[in-house]
Amino acid sequence: MSAAPSVDDFLIALVQQRRASPHTLAAYRRDLKRCERLLPALDSTALSALTPPQVRRLVSALAREGLAGRSIARLLAALRSYYRHLLDAGCLLADPTAGIAAPRSPRRLPATLDADHLARLLEFAGEDPLARRDRALFELLYSSGLRLAEVIRLDRADLDLADASARVTGKGNKTRIVPVGGRARAALADWLTLRETLAGACPALFVSRRGGRLSPRTVQQRLRHWADRQGIDRRVYPHLLRHSCASHLLESSGDLRAVQELLGHASIATTQVYTHVDFQYLARVYDAAHPRARRKAD
């Protein structure tokens, strides 16, 4: 059996053979190097030589360090990818991570904004081109429950105001058609009267002052800017609008499948987390309004 490729060799192959993104490459490097630093405690000198019992000890050590279950699962995914590379190269007989799972972490409920806070956030004053762009952008994020990456990836051709819909490319390059609400359509129509003066030949639906496609960082900064201006006294970020859209739709309709389709979730289990958010809302209303739920004064 030939010598096993090093982690650095694997990372090079990840770029050359699988066209891995810089983000994926950085995450794999960070996780695999973290594993290598724990090798002495596992009585091993190389990741390629780990046995299943040693991998279990590795998972236990990471959990004792306080690493969350989801982070350990991501790290195990990086290890499995490395071991698949070794198996393909004929340097390994079996994957030592087979059958080993990360410990479960309590699932955090997504944060949301209530309708009053959303109305205050989205109804900001400002008629300059960037304010009108931002209003259209944020209305669309909330109206259609889009991810940040999805909204900045939209081209002008993806929006059909006459049909009240947008063609969205989500995770795994999967395309879906989402409805666009009335407030969002009005804000978008207003933005489109100005867009051509900034966009030039750029196909992006939302462009910067210089005419280029918006970056994620710019959208985050602009949303924080308006949240501060509108006196929203909590952290506001693009995904919060997506969470709020899902929660409000589910609260009003109870249609889990429809919300799954809107959000582009591959599994309905991902969408079900919003039923817990809805229950929390119900519990708060119950505690505040039901005569038998109110605590008597001491």
Active-site residue list: 147, 171, 239, 242, 265, 274
For residues 48 and 2, the answer to whether their CB atoms sit within 8 Å is no
Please tell me whether residue 221 adopts helix, strand or coil conformation: helix
Alpha-carbon distance of 245 to 115, in angstroms, equals: 10
The H or E element that residue 79 is part of is helix 69-88
Alpha-carbon distance of 132 to 124, in angstroms, equals: 10
Which tokens hold the place of 92? 């390994």
For residues 5 and 91, the answer to whether their CB atoms sit within 8 Å is yes
The 10 Å CB-count burial string (b at 16+, else e) for 57-92 is bbbeebbeeebbbebbebbbebbebbbebbeebeeb
Amino acid at position 88, single letter: D
Residue 7 burial by CB count (10 A; 0-12/13-18/19+): exposed, middle or buried?
buried
Paired with 167 in beta bridges are 177
Q: How far is CA 89 from CA 36, 50, 85, 252, in A?
A: 21, 17, 6, 54
